[in-house]
Structure 1
Amino acid sequence: MHPGGIGGGRRVEAGMDDGGRRHIGTEERRARLALRHRLAGTARAAGPEAVAEALVALHGTDPATVYLAVAARLAEPVKAVPETERALYEDRTLVRMHGMRHTVFVFPADLTAVVHASTGLMVAARERASLLKDMAKAGAPDAAWLAEVEASALSALARRGQATAAELAADEPRLREQFVYAAGKSYEGVHTVSTRLLRVLGVEGKVVRGRPLGSWTSSQFRWAVAPEHPELDEAGAQSELLRRWLEACGPATEADLKWWTGWRVTEVRRALTTIGAQTVSLDEGTTGFVTRDDTEPVSDPGEPWAALLPALDPTAMAWQHRDWYLAPELRPQLFDRSGNVGPTVWWNGRVVGGWAQRGDGEIVWRVLDPTAGREAEPTVAAEAERLRRVLAEARVTPRFRTPLEKELSA
């Protein structure tokens, strides 16, 4: 069953444009989002693996985002923290690693080889070359020396199972070596070999982040040797990743796909051709793409729904062009200056406001879009209560703070 069929609500009528192509309007795009991203009440998932599978990737730059993104989509949200920890650190069905756009994500374990081949290898080559270049400029030891340190560090990590950079440096003291970065520049700094090397090994798929040092909200992680995976062909891996993402987020424009993957436009076009993607027209007058078997109309959720999504949630950050679910006038309140989205309130497939947690644990929210109406308030309030139970005694402050979140949390 295609994920678009979850829910069993009113069937959305299929339309055609003047050229005979399938037309997918904003109403249907919001219905697809509600169902495929497991946000509507009838579409909620049983566990974190199902959430990650539905979304392809969970943003992991802010550790709390992973847990709260899962909680918003579970039928029983209070299970989000223990079940996500189980999936990440016991069963290893989810893996935290570098992915698209050189960003940390949490992926289903069976997707790690695809991500590594499709996006990781390109980034890894640049990262290693940059490290060697910076070390050479600083007069630090050469590539042969770095290779020795790397092999020693990986052996130590394999013996320990999981370890911090400081623990690895106890086994391999050369990891403590420092070198000056960008000497003479305004941004000159001192880098430690361990910091840069572990980052390179991460994007190369040799190590992954293990358990955090503190609670589930901590941003300090141990490292672990990456699970083995097959080495895949780059073009084939790109086609598979794009196919999975289109199943979750289609229709999407070429610009959306280039932005989300971080690939060159030629790679995006090659992958679209390989999977036989179909073109559709969108309300904005642009061309979108869906997988070849995803042209049938979907059913809407069948009932109104609301969601409180965390900062950097994968739904809010999935598309580059967001006007169909986010009014441009709301962006200054909900995004920081670098384009990172803060905590958002959703109503029937669109962002209508934001939320925050105060120091005493209270969840506060505000609807900024007057078209949501009072009808939304009881459902949003119920979602705030669901979130309060998930957080319990935990306190969460987004890594990238936005104007509305700062105001509400004050």
Structure 2
Amino acid sequence: MSPSVTPTVLARLRLAAQGILPTSISPGPGPGDVVRSLTALQGQDFPGVLWSIGLRSPGSTRAAVEAAFNSGELVRSWPMRGTLHVTLAEDLGWILSLTAERMESGMSTRHRELEITTADVDKVRELALALVAEQGGRVSRDELFTAFERAGQGTKAQRGYHLLFLLCLQGTLVQGPINSAAGNGNSQFFVSAEAWIKNPRAMDREQALAELALRYFSSHGPATIKDFQWWSKLTLKDISAGLAQLGDQLASVVCNGVSYWLAPETAELLGGTVPGARSLLLLPGFDEYLLGYTDRSAALAPHHAPLTVPGGNGVFKATVVAGGKVAGTWRKAQGMAEKQRQLAGVVLPELFGELSPNQTRSLEKSSTAYKRFLLPN
């Protein structure tokens, strides 16, 4: 029989599985190990996803995470949900083999509205690869858009964005090395996926379904099948096919009458005191700790959701997480008065309630850790 857990324990088990806690089941010290464990991290906010990786790799700096992109170990593309994610370069192809067709089909109406045809995509593919070759293997988004416009392929009203989306979805381009000269280092060059990704993993569809299911529940569990379906956008038939191959590689727990799957190593934490009760963490917006599930209530109280996602518009603020629960948000200060209240000179917390003296000290330590992460070396 599966053990029962409370929502509070469920949230702390997720902190452990995701490699966030210092005492958790760590995926390893390097940025690549973190991304390998989580499989895919939502990454439309590039500075935020760098910190998502960094906070799970204690002692690393932003420069170290950027180096993993510059070396070709990590890439950013659209492997799931029509949203940018960071993956290991070697994993991108097999994930897209499961998800790309459904994403492209789901966007077909929008592409007709933008008057994007198969011939248009073929044309911009030819242009993009030629430009990448001319530019020494890497090209900026602006340079691609300029080339598209010159060839009569309009980029306004999101048409350019969707052309790039299709080129990445179909495996032509990928975002790789950091473009340090543009956008404060918050953008990447586009490169040829075939040339940049040196050792793509190859597996058949059945293997890929099992791999994605195992890695999701191992890194995000406890999670439900509904959570995994939302995260991956796979069909229930495909999810069932993947899970059927896993045998005893997953354990389960029950919370409020609902079954959750997780790694056996995570379940073993229930044999003692589940860590994280006194933790105080600074997570970026769009972190997998919240974004990895369709039901976020274990970590985010319903009455705090509007403060975390104002207007319900899908834009998540960076969060202060105490004992696994979202206890506030944080941001960079605007103006001199706010800057005087920043912790470590970089974090302005906006708390939902009072913190204990120990939590306040932990918040200061977490702010200092974030400041160290931002150091250039």
Aligned residue identity for 1:198: L
Aligned in 2, Cα 1:47/1:176: closer, same or farther, shift over 3 Å? farther
The alignment status of 1:111 with 2:86, answered yes or no, reads no
What is the alpha-carbon distance in structure 2 between the residues aligned to residue 216 and residue 166 of structure 1? 12
The alignment status of 1:205 with 2:209, answered yes or no, reads no
What is the alpha-carbon distance in structure 2 between the residues aligned to residue 304 and residue 366 of structure 1? 19
Aligned in 2, Cα 1:175/1:316: closer, same or farther, shift over 3 Å? farther
Aligned residue identity for 1:308: L
What is the alpha-carbon distance in structure 1 between the residues aligned to residue 120 and residue 252 of structure 2? 54
Q: In the TM superposition, what whole-angstrom CA distance separates every residue of 1:161-217 from its partner, at most 9, and x where no partner exists? A: 0012443467677544338xxxxxxxxx7565x543222111112211132354675
Q: In the TM superposition, what whole-angstrom CA distance separates every residue of 1:229-256 from its partner, at most 9, and x where no partner exists? A: 3554334322211210100111211221
Aligned in 2, Cα 1:49/1:174: closer, same or farther, shift over 3 Å? same
Q: Which residue of 2 aligns with 1:353?
A: 328
CA contact (8 A) 1:58 1:106 kept: yes
Aligned residue runs from structure 1 range 216-365, under 5 A: 218-226=185-193, 227=197, 229=200, 232-276=203-247, 280-290=252-262, 295-298=267-270, 300-301=274-275, 304-336=278-310, 337-359=312-334, 360=339, 361-365=345-349
Q: How far is the alpha carbon of 1:116 from its aligned partner?
A: 1.4
Q: Which residue of 1 aligns with 2:360?
A: 377
* Structure 1: runs of 5 or more not aligned: 1-19, 137-141, 180-188, 394-410
Q: Which residue of 1 aligns with 2:72?
A: 92
Aligned residue identity for 2:140: T
**Secondary structure of 2:37's aligned partner:** helix
**TM-score, normalised via structure 2 length:** 0.81
Aligned residue runs from structure 1 range 19-30, under 5 A: 20-30=1-11
Q: How far is the alpha carbon of 1:24 from its aligned partner?
A: 4.0
Q: How far is the alpha carbon of 1:344 from its aligned partner?
A: 0.5
Q: How far is the alpha carbon of 1:303 from its aligned partner?
A: 7.5
**Secondary structure of 1:209's aligned partner:** strand
Aligned residue identity for 2:280: A
Aligned in 2, Cα 1:102/1:81: closer, same or farther, shift over 3 Å? same
Q: Which residue of 1 aligns with 2:14?
A: 33
CA contact (8 A) 1:34 1:349 kept: yes
What is the alpha-carbon distance in structure 1 between the residues aligned to residue 329 and residue 76 of structure 2? 27
Instruction: After superposing the two structures, state which structure 1 stretch, 198-207 or 269-278, moved more.
Output: 269-278
Aligned partner of 1:64 among 43, 47, 53: 47
What is the alpha-carbon distance in structure 2 between the residues aligned to residue 288 and residue 302 of structure 1? 20
What's the % identity of the aligned pairs?
21
CA contact (8 A) 2:124 2:163 kept: no
**Secondary structure of 2:247's aligned partner:** coil
**Would you say how many aligned residue pairs link Structure 1 and Structure 2?**
355
Instruction: After superposing the two structures, state which structure 1 stretch, 298-307 or 320-329, moved more.
Output: 298-307
Which structure has the bigger radius of gyration? Answer: 1
Aligned residue runs from structure 1 range 1-20, under 5 A: 20=1
The alignment status of 1:158 with 2:129, answered yes or no, reads no
What is the alpha-carbon distance in structure 1 between the residues aligned to residue 277 and residue 175 of structure 2? 40
CA contact (8 A) 1:308 1:383 kept: yes
Aligned in 2, Cα 1:240/1:369: closer, same or farther, shift over 3 Å? farther
**Secondary structure of 2:51's aligned partner:** helix
CA contact (8 A) 1:212 1:218 kept: yes
**Secondary structure of 1:178's aligned partner:** coil
Aligned residue identity for 2:143: E
The alignment status of 1:74 with 2:57, answered yes or no, reads yes
CA contact (8 A) 2:121 2:166 kept: no
* Structure 2: runs of 5 or more not aligned: 340-344
**Secondary structure of 1:21's aligned partner:** coil
Aligned in 2, Cα 1:357/1:310: closer, same or farther, shift over 3 Å? same
The alignment status of 1:123 with 2:103, answered yes or no, reads yes
**Secondary structure of 1:177's aligned partner:** coil
CA contact (8 A) 1:63 1:219 kept: yes
What is the alpha-carbon distance in structure 1 between the residues aligned to residue 66 and residue 364 of structure 2? 27
Aligned residue identity for 2:358: E
The alignment status of 1:366 with 2:350, answered yes or no, reads yes
**TM-score, normalised via structure 1 length:** 0.75
What is the alpha-carbon distance in structure 2 between the residues aligned to residue 264 and residue 355 of structure 1? 36
Aligned in 2, Cα 1:276/1:25: closer, same or farther, shift over 3 Å? farther
Q: Which residue of 2 aligns with 1:397?
A: none
CA contact (8 A) 2:91 2:201 kept: no
**Secondary structure of 2:130's aligned partner:** helix
Q: How far is the alpha carbon of 1:325 from its aligned partner?
A: 1.7
CA contact (8 A) 1:22 1:295 kept: no
CA contact (8 A) 1:98 1:104 kept: yes
What is the alpha-carbon distance in structure 1 between the residues aligned to residue 119 and residue 297 of structure 2? 51
